[in-house]
Chain A
Amino acid sequence: MEEITKIKKEIDLDRRGFIKKVLSGAIGGSLLLVMPATAREIAEQIPGMKEQTDLFIADKKFAFVVDITGCIGCGSCCIADKNEYQVPDGHYRTWVERYIIDDHDEVYVDSPNGGLDGYTEPRDDIKNPIRDTFFAPKLCNMCENPSCVQVCPVGATFRTEDGFILVDDKRCVGCSYCVQACPYSVRFINPVKHTAEKCTWCYHRVRQGMLPACVNVCPVHARKFGDLNDKSSEVYKLLHEPHVISVLKPDMGNKPSLHYLGLRREVI
């Protein structure tokens, strides 16, 4: 960055001399390093999305896979999510739970501040030997049969034709029916706007060809997002080849599009 200020100073001191210097190549090299900075658009992470201008996304069926065997519980996803939506303190569009199962099959779950500050302390209140322990990130399940949409009295929450469940905060009256109807407790009432809010799998980012914020920052690639219509995508392969993969609460019949790799039956 000193480079930029140096160049700016050079320009201010003597424009003519500066141009001469550039032409002679003296600082041309360093200028080249600085020039593309503002000009370049960031590359699409999901190809072909910027060309789509229709109301709904065409020819793509997105799915989300969370790898429980990979998650390290660092809370990077929670930080990115809070930054992306400026989520009010104490509410979470996505969060990470820590599961500890002892050899008596007793299950201990905690999620201090939704995992936003990371996990800094071990649990030392567990007397029996620990059989299994892992982190389970949670977010919107984007159900094919969403209970939240069924109960909304004003049509403020809906499922788009491309499979995303969104909230229309202009129509929402904040009645909280959807908050209670969601089997996965992903919804809350925003204390500032007094409307329902939840994870959207970063619909706005996806529409611009970017991965959801949490997927983009996960350092161990435990969150995977992709198109099921693309047979070469990672999510397609995970869902169409033998893997230990399941959804949360399948008995509810909501048919989530969020899948968990290595899911234990204790996770609810």
Chain B
Amino acid sequence: MQQNFKSSYNVHVVRILLTFVGMIIVGSLLRSLLLPSEFGDYGHYRPGAVTEEANREMRNKTNDSCLDCHYFVKKIHLKGVHEVVSCEVCHGAYSDHVKDGKVIGEMPVYRGEEIKSLCLRCHNKIIRARPPESIKMIAMPEHLEEKNVRTDHVCNQCHHVHAPYKWIKEAREMMGLPEKWEGGSSWKK
């Protein structure tokens, strides 16, 4: 009786140990099957993901990259106050337009009334949250009323979109009123 009990006790221990070993083997097999090879080299993640993210396509570039080709815009844009505004905000992403130095698609261009809402996006006075130190604002239609013109004028009839003071400065100079402008040959104020 005693003997019997002892042997079945040993069998139990062996069974439990075997089950453990089996679980460890199956577990590590599954782990190596499911986890990518480099997982955990630097932390609980796949280092390849860092490289993949770093190699993502860059879709926006800089103003300089547009001006490499658009030489005529360059001559105007860099001399005006809008030098700080991004081409790609008003037009669209570089990679929709140029790939490997070749033009692959048309750039959208705002026209007419659309230009008004584009300008007012940044210059609208009625949006009171704008800090006046950051940007000069105008109210419509007061801006046009004080100039004694019809209120259906669009901004680009007086302001060059790429250098807002270009035409205004030129007009003033023509009329002999240059003293207000201190920017020398530029179209800044």
Known: A37-B68, A204-B55. A100 touches B124 (CB 8 A): no
Q: Is the CB of A38 within 8 A of B70?
A: no
Which of A12-20, A209-217, A250-258 touches B? Answer: A209-217
Q: Which of B58, B69, B129 contacts A98 (CB 8 A)?
A: B129
- Top 3 closest pairs, chain A to chain B, by CB: A38-B101, A168-B49, A158-B45
Q: Is the CB of B128 within 8 A of A83?
A: no
Q: Is the CB of B129 within 8 A of A135?
A: yes
Q: Is the CB of A120 within 8 A of B134?
A: no
Q: What 1/0 flags go to A139-163 for Cβ under 8 Å of B?
A: 0000000000000000111111100
A-B contact pairs, 15 of them (CB 8 A): A42-B61, A55-B51, A74-B122, A76-B89, A99-B129, A100-B129, A166-B50, A166-B53, A203-B53, A213-B60, A216-B60, A216-B62, A219-B86, A219-B122, A221-B84
Interface residues on B, range: 35 or more
Q: How far is the CA of A160 from the CA of B50 in the complex (A)?
A: 8
Q: How far is the CA of A204 from the CA of B49 in the complex (A)?
A: 12
Contacts of B19 in A (CB 8 A): none
Name the interface residues of A22-55: CB closer than 8 Å to any CB of B: 33-34, 36-38, 40, 42-43, 45, 55
Q: Which of A73, A158, A221 contacts B130 (CB 8 A)?
A: A73
**Is B16 on the interface with A (CB-CB < 8 A)?**
no
Q: Is the CB of A83 within 8 A of B60?
A: yes
Contacts of B71 in A (CB 8 A): 3, 33-34
Q: Is the CB of B50 within 8 A of A80?
A: no
**Is A69 on the interface with B (CB-CB < 8 A)?**
yes
Q: What 1/0 flags go to B86-127 for Cβ under 8 Å of A?
A: 101100110010000110000000000000010011101011
Q: Is the CB of A72 within 8 A of B59?
A: no
Q: Is the CB of A55 within 8 A of B124?
A: no
Q: Which A positions have Cβ atoms within 8 angstroms of B?
A: 1, 3, 33-34, 36-38, 40, 42-43, 45, 55-56, 69-76, 79-80, 83-86, 98-100, 118-122, 130, 133-135, 155-161, 166-168, 170-171, 200, 203-205, 207-208, 210, 213, 216-217, 219-222
Known: A72-B135, A73-B130. A83 touches B59 (CB 8 A): yes
Known: A79-B89, A166-B50. A120 touches B62 (CB 8 A): no
Q: Is the CB of A1 within 8 A of B70?
A: yes
Q: How far is the CA of A208 from the CA of B134 in the complex (A)?
A: 30
Contacts of A1 in B (CB 8 A): 69-70, 72
Q: How far is the CA of A234 from the CA of B148 in the complex (A)?
A: 45
Which of B4-12, B36-44, B164-172 touches A? Answer: B36-44
Q: Is the CB of B130 within 8 A of A72?
A: yes
Known: A37-B69, A208-B58. A159 touches B135 (CB 8 A): no
Q: Which of A73, A156, A170, A205 contacts B58 (CB 8 A)?
A: A205
